[in-house]
Amino acid sequence: MTGIEIGIIALIGFLVIMFLGVPIPFSMLIAGTVGILAMTDFNVASQIMVSELFNTFSNYALTVGPMFGLMGYLASYTGIGEKLFVTMNYTFGHRKCGLANAVQVAGAGFGAICGSPPAATATFSAIAYPEMKKRGYMPEMAAGTIIAGSGLSVLIPPSNNFIVYGIVTETSIGQLFMAGIVPGLIVMALNILGILLMGKMRPKWVGSVSERHGWGERFKSLQNGGLIYIIIIFVLSMGGMFAGLFTPTEAGAVGAFGLFIITLLSRQLNWTKFKNALFAGVRLQAMVFMLLACANVFGKMFSVSKIPIALGQYVESLNAAPVSIMAVILVIYFILGMFTDLLSMTLVTMPIFFPIVCDTLGYSPIWFGIIITMVISIGALTPPVGSGVFIARGCLSYDPEATVTRLFSGVYIFVATNCIATAVFLIWPDVVTFLPALIYGT
Protein backbone atom coordinates (compact mmCIF):
# COMPACT_ATOMS: atom_id res chain seq x y z
CA MET A 1 0.00 0.00 0.00
CA THR A 2 1.08 3.57 -0.63
CA GLY A 3 1.68 6.05 2.17
CA ILE A 4 -1.50 7.93 1.24
CA GLU A 5 -3.59 4.77 1.54
CA ILE A 6 -2.04 3.94 4.92
CA GLY A 7 -2.64 7.50 6.11
CA ILE A 8 -6.32 7.34 5.16
CA ILE A 9 -6.70 3.98 6.95
CA ALA A 10 -4.97 5.46 10.03
CA LEU A 11 -7.37 8.42 9.99
CA ILE A 12 -10.37 6.10 9.78
CA GLY A 13 -8.86 3.98 12.54
CA PHE A 14 -8.51 7.06 14.75
CA LEU A 15 -12.20 7.90 14.28
CA VAL A 16 -13.26 4.32 15.03
CA ILE A 17 -11.10 4.11 18.17
CA MET A 18 -12.37 7.51 19.35
CA PHE A 19 -16.03 6.59 18.91
CA LEU A 20 -15.41 3.33 20.78
CA GLY A 21 -14.74 5.46 23.84
CA VAL A 22 -10.94 5.66 23.92
CA PRO A 23 -9.81 9.16 25.02
CA ILE A 24 -8.93 11.37 22.06
CA PRO A 25 -5.20 11.79 22.89
CA PHE A 26 -4.66 8.03 23.09
CA SER A 27 -6.73 7.51 19.94
CA MET A 28 -4.38 9.87 18.08
CA LEU A 29 -1.30 8.26 19.62
CA ILE A 30 -2.36 4.72 18.68
CA ALA A 31 -3.48 5.58 15.14
CA GLY A 32 -0.43 7.77 14.49
CA THR A 33 2.12 5.27 15.79
CA VAL A 34 0.58 2.30 13.98
CA GLY A 35 0.39 4.35 10.77
CA ILE A 36 4.07 5.34 10.98
CA LEU A 37 4.96 1.72 11.79
CA ALA A 38 3.14 0.51 8.67
CA MET A 39 5.04 3.02 6.49
CA THR A 40 8.51 2.61 8.06
CA ASP A 41 9.72 0.12 10.69
CA PHE A 42 9.60 -0.42 14.44
CA ASN A 43 12.75 1.58 15.25
CA VAL A 44 11.65 4.65 13.30
CA ALA A 45 8.09 4.54 14.69
CA SER A 46 9.26 4.17 18.29
CA GLN A 47 11.85 6.94 17.92
CA ILE A 48 9.30 9.34 16.44
CA MET A 49 6.76 8.56 19.17
CA VAL A 50 9.24 8.99 22.02
CA SER A 51 10.86 12.13 20.59
CA GLU A 52 7.52 13.85 19.92
CA LEU A 53 6.25 13.09 23.43
CA PHE A 54 9.51 14.22 25.06
CA ASN A 55 9.88 17.35 22.93
CA THR A 56 6.32 18.44 23.67
CA PHE A 57 6.57 18.10 27.43
CA SER A 58 9.99 19.78 27.50
CA ASN A 59 9.07 22.67 25.18
CA TYR A 60 9.49 26.00 26.98
CA ALA A 61 7.09 27.74 24.58
CA LEU A 62 4.23 25.64 25.94
CA THR A 63 4.50 27.29 29.36
CA VAL A 64 2.40 30.11 27.92
CA GLY A 65 -0.65 27.86 28.43
CA PRO A 66 -0.20 27.17 32.16
CA MET A 67 0.49 30.85 32.87
CA PHE A 68 -2.70 32.12 31.23
CA GLY A 69 -4.59 29.11 32.57
CA LEU A 70 -3.60 29.95 36.15
CA MET A 71 -4.62 33.57 35.57
CA GLY A 72 -8.05 32.48 34.39
CA TYR A 73 -8.71 30.10 37.25
CA LEU A 74 -7.51 32.65 39.81
CA ALA A 75 -10.12 35.02 38.39
CA SER A 76 -12.76 32.30 38.55
CA TYR A 77 -12.09 31.13 42.10
CA THR A 78 -11.60 34.57 43.67
CA GLY A 79 -14.98 35.95 42.62
CA ILE A 80 -13.85 38.49 40.03
CA GLY A 81 -16.47 37.14 37.63
CA GLU A 82 -19.17 37.66 40.26
CA LYS A 83 -18.12 41.27 40.88
CA LEU A 84 -18.02 41.90 37.13
CA PHE A 85 -21.54 40.53 36.71
CA VAL A 86 -22.80 42.74 39.54
CA THR A 87 -21.36 45.79 37.80
CA MET A 88 -22.92 44.83 34.46
CA ASN A 89 -26.24 44.08 36.17
CA TYR A 90 -26.24 47.52 37.78
CA THR A 91 -25.60 49.02 34.34
CA PHE A 92 -27.96 46.99 32.11
CA GLY A 93 -30.29 45.06 34.42
CA HIS A 94 -33.04 47.69 34.57
CA ARG A 95 -33.70 47.35 30.83
CA LYS A 96 -35.70 44.65 29.05
CA CYS A 97 -33.48 41.60 28.54
CA GLY A 98 -30.96 43.55 30.58
CA LEU A 99 -29.76 40.62 32.69
CA ALA A 100 -29.23 38.47 29.61
CA ASN A 101 -27.26 41.24 27.90
CA ALA A 102 -25.30 41.86 31.10
CA VAL A 103 -24.10 38.26 30.85
CA GLN A 104 -22.80 38.93 27.31
CA VAL A 105 -20.81 42.00 28.35
CA ALA A 106 -19.59 40.29 31.50
CA GLY A 107 -18.64 37.22 29.45
CA ALA A 108 -16.52 39.35 27.12
CA GLY A 109 -14.89 41.09 30.08
CA PHE A 110 -14.24 37.84 31.91
CA GLY A 111 -12.82 36.37 28.71
CA ALA A 112 -10.14 39.06 28.82
CA ILE A 113 -8.49 37.22 31.72
CA CYS A 114 -9.92 33.72 31.29
CA GLY A 115 -9.50 31.94 27.96
CA SER A 116 -11.49 28.88 28.96
CA PRO A 117 -15.22 28.64 28.08
CA PRO A 118 -15.83 25.80 30.59
CA ALA A 119 -14.41 27.94 33.41
CA ALA A 120 -16.53 30.90 32.31
CA THR A 121 -19.62 28.68 32.08
CA ALA A 122 -19.07 27.39 35.61
CA THR A 123 -18.59 30.94 36.91
CA PHE A 124 -21.72 32.45 35.36
CA SER A 125 -23.84 29.38 36.03
CA ALA A 126 -23.15 29.93 39.70
CA ILE A 127 -23.68 33.69 39.84
CA ALA A 128 -25.91 34.75 36.92
CA TYR A 129 -28.31 31.83 36.52
CA PRO A 130 -29.84 32.05 40.05
CA GLU A 131 -30.38 35.80 39.62
CA MET A 132 -32.03 35.32 36.23
CA LYS A 133 -34.27 32.55 37.55
CA LYS A 134 -35.27 34.75 40.46
CA ARG A 135 -36.32 37.42 37.96
CA GLY A 136 -38.49 34.93 36.06
CA TYR A 137 -36.23 34.04 33.12
CA MET A 138 -36.95 30.64 31.59
CA PRO A 139 -34.06 28.13 31.53
CA GLU A 140 -33.90 28.43 27.72
CA MET A 141 -33.03 32.13 27.89
CA ALA A 142 -31.03 32.06 31.13
CA ALA A 143 -28.82 29.11 30.24
CA GLY A 144 -28.62 30.01 26.54
CA THR A 145 -27.22 33.45 27.26
CA ILE A 146 -24.71 31.99 29.74
CA ILE A 147 -23.49 29.46 27.16
CA ALA A 148 -23.18 32.18 24.50
CA GLY A 149 -21.52 34.69 26.81
CA SER A 150 -19.03 32.10 28.08
CA GLY A 151 -18.24 31.12 24.49
CA LEU A 152 -16.78 34.59 23.88
CA SER A 153 -13.70 33.35 25.77
CA VAL A 154 -12.56 31.50 22.64
CA LEU A 155 -12.18 34.81 20.79
CA ILE A 156 -11.37 37.45 23.41
CA PRO A 157 -7.68 37.13 24.32
CA PRO A 158 -6.12 35.26 26.01
CA SER A 159 -7.86 32.34 24.28
CA ASN A 160 -6.59 28.83 25.02
CA ASN A 161 -7.45 27.77 21.50
CA PHE A 162 -5.34 30.55 19.97
CA ILE A 163 -2.41 29.45 22.13
CA VAL A 164 -2.67 25.86 20.91
CA TYR A 165 -3.31 26.89 17.29
CA GLY A 166 -0.33 29.24 17.37
CA ILE A 167 1.99 26.57 18.76
CA VAL A 168 0.87 23.87 16.32
CA THR A 169 1.00 26.08 13.21
CA GLU A 170 3.93 28.26 14.35
CA THR A 171 1.74 31.35 14.04
CA SER A 172 2.32 34.42 16.21
CA ILE A 173 0.23 34.04 19.37
CA GLY A 174 0.39 37.79 19.93
CA GLN A 175 -1.13 38.46 16.49
CA LEU A 176 -3.81 35.83 17.07
CA PHE A 177 -4.71 37.51 20.37
CA MET A 178 -4.90 40.88 18.66
CA ALA A 179 -6.97 39.46 15.80
CA GLY A 180 -9.54 38.00 18.21
CA ILE A 181 -10.53 41.33 19.78
CA VAL A 182 -12.69 42.78 16.99
CA PRO A 183 -14.41 39.46 16.09
CA GLY A 184 -15.11 38.89 19.79
CA LEU A 185 -16.77 42.28 20.13
CA ILE A 186 -18.74 41.75 16.91
CA VAL A 187 -20.06 38.40 18.14
CA MET A 188 -20.96 39.97 21.49
CA ALA A 189 -22.92 42.73 19.73
CA LEU A 190 -24.72 40.21 17.51
CA ASN A 191 -25.56 38.09 20.57
CA ILE A 192 -27.12 41.14 22.23
CA LEU A 193 -29.21 41.81 19.11
CA GLY A 194 -30.21 38.14 19.07
CA ILE A 195 -31.33 38.36 22.71
CA LEU A 196 -33.45 41.41 21.98
CA LEU A 197 -34.99 39.63 18.99
CA MET A 198 -35.67 36.54 21.07
CA GLY A 199 -37.23 38.74 23.75
CA LYS A 200 -39.81 39.85 21.17
CA MET A 201 -40.35 36.38 19.70
CA ARG A 202 -40.46 34.55 23.04
CA PRO A 203 -41.61 37.14 25.60
CA LYS A 204 -42.43 34.41 28.13
CA TRP A 205 -38.75 33.45 28.23
CA VAL A 206 -37.77 36.89 29.51
CA GLY A 207 -38.28 37.77 33.16
CA SER A 208 -38.74 41.07 34.91
CA VAL A 209 -36.14 43.81 34.92
CA SER A 210 -33.90 44.51 37.89
CA GLU A 211 -34.30 47.62 39.97
CA ARG A 212 -32.68 50.75 38.58
CA HIS A 213 -29.43 51.70 40.28
CA GLY A 214 -28.16 55.23 40.38
CA TRP A 215 -24.78 56.31 39.08
CA GLY A 216 -23.45 56.42 42.61
CA GLU A 217 -24.22 52.72 43.12
CA ARG A 218 -22.81 51.86 39.72
CA PHE A 219 -19.58 53.69 40.51
CA LYS A 220 -19.39 51.94 43.87
CA SER A 221 -19.74 48.56 42.15
CA LEU A 222 -16.76 49.53 39.99
CA GLN A 223 -14.74 50.34 43.09
CA ASN A 224 -15.46 46.88 44.49
CA GLY A 225 -13.27 45.33 41.83
CA GLY A 226 -14.25 43.12 38.90
CA LEU A 227 -14.01 45.45 35.93
CA ILE A 228 -11.16 47.52 37.37
CA TYR A 229 -9.12 44.39 38.12
CA ILE A 230 -9.74 43.05 34.63
CA ILE A 231 -8.67 46.32 33.01
CA ILE A 232 -5.50 46.48 35.13
CA ILE A 233 -4.49 42.90 34.36
CA PHE A 234 -5.41 43.14 30.66
CA VAL A 235 -3.42 46.35 30.18
CA LEU A 236 -0.49 44.96 32.16
CA SER A 237 -0.39 41.56 30.47
CA MET A 238 -1.89 41.94 26.98
CA GLY A 239 -0.83 45.58 26.64
CA GLY A 240 2.75 44.70 27.52
CA MET A 241 2.76 41.89 24.97
CA PHE A 242 1.19 44.01 22.21
CA ALA A 243 3.75 46.73 22.93
CA GLY A 244 6.58 44.23 22.54
CA LEU A 245 7.66 44.38 26.18
CA PHE A 246 6.81 40.72 26.90
CA THR A 247 6.75 37.47 25.02
CA PRO A 248 3.43 35.59 25.27
CA THR A 249 4.87 33.35 27.99
CA GLU A 250 6.12 36.35 29.96
CA ALA A 251 2.77 38.11 29.48
CA GLY A 252 0.98 35.11 30.97
CA ALA A 253 3.36 35.02 33.92
CA VAL A 254 2.99 38.77 34.51
CA GLY A 255 -0.81 38.49 34.32
CA ALA A 256 -0.98 35.54 36.70
CA PHE A 257 1.39 37.16 39.20
CA GLY A 258 -0.39 40.51 38.94
CA LEU A 259 -3.79 38.91 39.57
CA PHE A 260 -2.31 36.93 42.45
CA ILE A 261 -1.03 40.13 44.10
CA ILE A 262 -4.26 42.08 43.50
CA THR A 263 -6.53 39.37 44.89
CA LEU A 264 -4.18 38.74 47.80
CA LEU A 265 -4.03 42.42 48.81
CA SER A 266 -7.81 42.79 48.41
CA ARG A 267 -8.29 39.70 50.62
CA GLN A 268 -10.20 37.82 47.96
CA LEU A 269 -7.59 35.07 47.80
CA ASN A 270 -6.90 32.52 50.52
CA TRP A 271 -4.97 29.28 50.59
CA THR A 272 -7.98 27.11 49.69
CA LYS A 273 -8.91 29.23 46.66
CA PHE A 274 -5.30 29.39 45.51
CA LYS A 275 -4.91 25.62 45.84
CA ASN A 276 -8.14 24.97 43.94
CA ALA A 277 -7.14 27.39 41.17
CA LEU A 278 -3.69 25.81 40.94
CA PHE A 279 -5.02 22.26 40.78
CA ALA A 280 -7.70 23.20 38.22
CA GLY A 281 -5.06 24.88 36.05
CA VAL A 282 -2.76 21.86 36.30
CA ARG A 283 -5.55 19.47 35.29
CA LEU A 284 -6.46 21.62 32.29
CA GLN A 285 -2.89 22.01 31.08
CA ALA A 286 -2.08 18.33 31.61
CA MET A 287 -4.95 17.56 29.25
CA VAL A 288 -3.74 20.16 26.73
CA PHE A 289 -0.12 18.94 26.88
CA MET A 290 -1.21 15.35 26.35
CA LEU A 291 -3.39 16.39 23.42
CA LEU A 292 -0.50 18.32 21.88
CA ALA A 293 2.01 15.51 22.33
CA CYS A 294 -0.26 12.84 20.82
CA ALA A 295 -1.39 15.21 18.05
CA ASN A 296 2.26 15.76 17.10
CA VAL A 297 2.67 12.01 16.61
CA PHE A 298 -0.55 11.94 14.58
CA GLY A 299 0.61 14.94 12.54
CA LYS A 300 3.97 13.29 11.89
CA MET A 301 2.10 10.31 10.47
CA PHE A 302 0.37 12.61 7.98
CA SER A 303 3.71 14.16 7.01
CA VAL A 304 5.24 10.73 6.35
CA SER A 305 2.17 9.66 4.34
CA LYS A 306 2.39 12.84 2.19
CA ILE A 307 -1.39 13.27 2.32
CA PRO A 308 -1.17 17.09 2.72
CA ILE A 309 0.99 17.36 -0.40
CA ALA A 310 -1.38 15.19 -2.43
CA LEU A 311 -4.41 17.16 -1.23
CA GLY A 312 -2.72 20.44 -2.08
CA GLN A 313 -1.97 19.23 -5.59
CA TYR A 314 -5.54 18.02 -6.00
CA VAL A 315 -6.98 21.35 -4.85
CA GLU A 316 -4.73 23.20 -7.33
CA SER A 317 -5.95 20.94 -10.14
CA LEU A 318 -9.59 21.84 -9.45
CA ASN A 319 -9.08 25.47 -10.52
CA ALA A 320 -12.01 26.37 -8.25
CA ALA A 321 -12.46 29.71 -6.54
CA PRO A 322 -10.67 29.76 -3.15
CA VAL A 323 -13.85 30.86 -1.38
CA SER A 324 -15.68 27.76 -2.71
CA ILE A 325 -12.99 25.45 -1.38
CA MET A 326 -12.99 27.30 1.92
CA ALA A 327 -16.76 26.86 2.17
CA VAL A 328 -16.36 23.08 1.82
CA ILE A 329 -13.62 23.02 4.46
CA LEU A 330 -15.76 25.05 6.85
CA VAL A 331 -18.69 22.68 6.41
CA ILE A 332 -16.34 19.81 7.34
CA TYR A 333 -15.23 21.72 10.44
CA PHE A 334 -18.83 22.47 11.38
CA ILE A 335 -19.76 18.79 11.19
CA LEU A 336 -16.67 17.75 13.16
CA GLY A 337 -17.44 20.38 15.79
CA MET A 338 -20.81 18.74 16.40
CA PHE A 339 -19.09 15.58 17.62
CA THR A 340 -15.97 16.63 19.50
CA ASP A 341 -14.32 19.56 21.26
CA LEU A 342 -12.56 22.60 19.82
CA LEU A 343 -8.98 21.83 20.83
CA SER A 344 -9.07 18.22 19.69
CA MET A 345 -10.39 19.04 16.24
CA THR A 346 -7.90 21.85 15.83
CA LEU A 347 -5.04 19.49 16.58
CA VAL A 348 -6.36 16.61 14.44
CA THR A 349 -7.11 18.66 11.33
CA MET A 350 -4.25 21.17 11.19
CA PRO A 351 -1.77 18.82 9.46
CA ILE A 352 -4.37 18.28 6.71
CA PHE A 353 -6.06 21.62 6.15
CA PHE A 354 -3.50 24.24 7.22
CA PRO A 355 -1.16 23.67 4.22
CA ILE A 356 -4.13 23.74 1.84
CA VAL A 357 -5.69 26.93 3.21
CA CYS A 358 -2.54 28.94 3.89
CA ASP A 359 -0.06 27.58 1.31
CA THR A 360 -2.25 26.49 -1.62
CA LEU A 361 -5.16 28.96 -1.32
CA GLY A 362 -3.03 31.76 0.12
CA TYR A 363 -5.21 32.75 3.08
CA SER A 364 -3.68 34.37 6.15
CA PRO A 365 -2.92 31.90 8.98
CA ILE A 366 -4.17 34.56 11.42
CA TRP A 367 -7.51 34.74 9.61
CA PHE A 368 -7.77 30.96 9.36
CA GLY A 369 -7.25 30.61 13.12
CA ILE A 370 -10.18 32.93 13.82
CA ILE A 371 -12.43 31.27 11.25
CA ILE A 372 -11.96 27.66 12.39
CA THR A 373 -12.38 28.75 16.01
CA MET A 374 -15.70 30.31 15.08
CA VAL A 375 -16.95 27.35 13.05
CA ILE A 376 -16.00 24.60 15.50
CA SER A 377 -17.40 26.63 18.42
CA ILE A 378 -20.71 26.82 16.52
CA GLY A 379 -20.66 23.04 16.36
CA ALA A 380 -20.32 23.02 20.16
CA LEU A 381 -23.83 24.52 20.34
CA THR A 382 -25.57 21.97 18.12
CA PRO A 383 -26.75 18.38 18.64
CA PRO A 384 -25.91 15.59 19.04
CA VAL A 385 -22.87 16.29 21.23
CA GLY A 386 -23.02 20.06 21.76
CA SER A 387 -20.19 20.15 24.30
CA GLY A 388 -21.00 23.71 25.41
CA VAL A 389 -24.59 22.73 26.20
CA PHE A 390 -23.61 19.61 28.14
CA ILE A 391 -21.02 21.54 30.16
CA ALA A 392 -23.72 24.04 31.11
CA ARG A 393 -26.12 21.21 31.97
CA GLY A 394 -23.49 19.77 34.30
CA CYS A 395 -23.05 23.14 36.01
CA LEU A 396 -26.84 23.57 36.33
CA SER A 397 -27.60 20.04 37.53
CA TYR A 398 -29.16 21.50 40.67
CA ASP A 399 -32.07 22.84 38.56
CA PRO A 400 -34.31 20.03 37.23
CA GLU A 401 -35.92 22.47 34.77
CA ALA A 402 -32.62 23.03 32.95
CA THR A 403 -32.92 19.93 30.79
CA VAL A 404 -30.68 19.29 27.80
CA THR A 405 -33.64 19.70 25.43
CA ARG A 406 -34.54 23.11 26.84
CA LEU A 407 -30.91 24.23 26.79
CA PHE A 408 -30.56 23.31 23.11
CA SER A 409 -33.76 25.27 22.42
CA GLY A 410 -32.15 28.34 23.96
CA VAL A 411 -28.93 28.36 21.93
CA TYR A 412 -30.26 28.27 18.36
CA ILE A 413 -30.48 32.06 18.19
CA PHE A 414 -26.76 32.17 19.05
CA VAL A 415 -25.97 29.57 16.41
CA ALA A 416 -27.54 32.04 13.97
CA THR A 417 -25.61 35.05 15.29
CA ASN A 418 -22.32 33.13 15.14
CA CYS A 419 -23.07 31.97 11.59
CA ILE A 420 -23.71 35.58 10.56
CA ALA A 421 -20.42 36.66 12.15
CA THR A 422 -18.54 33.85 10.40
CA ALA A 423 -20.03 34.87 7.04
CA VAL A 424 -18.90 38.46 7.65
CA PHE A 425 -15.34 37.32 8.44
CA LEU A 426 -15.34 35.04 5.39
CA ILE A 427 -16.54 37.72 2.97
CA TRP A 428 -14.44 40.53 4.48
CA PRO A 429 -11.21 39.01 5.86
CA ASP A 430 -9.85 42.48 6.66
CA VAL A 431 -12.30 42.67 9.57
CA VAL A 432 -10.11 40.03 11.23
CA THR A 433 -6.65 40.98 10.00
CA PHE A 434 -6.66 44.79 10.00
CA LEU A 435 -5.87 45.19 13.72
CA PRO A 436 -2.82 42.83 13.74
CA ALA A 437 -1.65 44.50 10.53
CA LEU A 438 -2.04 47.93 12.13
CA ILE A 439 -0.18 47.00 15.31
CA TYR A 440 2.42 44.58 14.00
CA GLY A 441 2.75 45.93 10.46
CA THR A 442 2.20 42.54 8.83
Give the residue ranges of DSSP H helices in 202-321.
215-223, 227-234, 240-242, 248-265, 271-305, 307-318
Contact 31, 14 (CB under 8 A): yes
| Residue 50, Ramachandran bin (φ over 0: left; ψ between -120 and 50: alpha; else beta) | alpha
Buried b (16+ CB within 10 A) or exposed e, 194-217: bbbebbeeeeebbbeebeebeeee
pLDDT in the model for residue 430: 92
pLDDT in the model for residue 224: 65
At residue 362's C-alpha, the angle toward residues 356 and 366, to 5°, is 90
Burial of 403 (0-12, 13-18, 19+ CB in 10 A): middle
Query: What's the average pLDDT block by block, 10 residues per block, for the chain (442 residues)?
Result: 86 86 87 91 88 83 82 82 80 81 89 82 86 88 91 88 88 92 94 93 81 70 70 88 86 90 86 88 83 86 83 80 85 76 77 88 92 84 78 86 89 93 92 86 62
Which of 324, 242, 344, 270 is closest to 74 using CA atoms? 270
Query: What does the CA dihedral 375, 380, 384, 390 come to, rounded to 10 degrees?
Result: 180
pLDDT in the model for residue 257: 92
pLDDT in the model for residue 313: 81
Burial of 96 (0-12, 13-18, 19+ CB in 10 A): middle
- How many helices and strands, by DSSP H and E, does the chain display? 22, 0
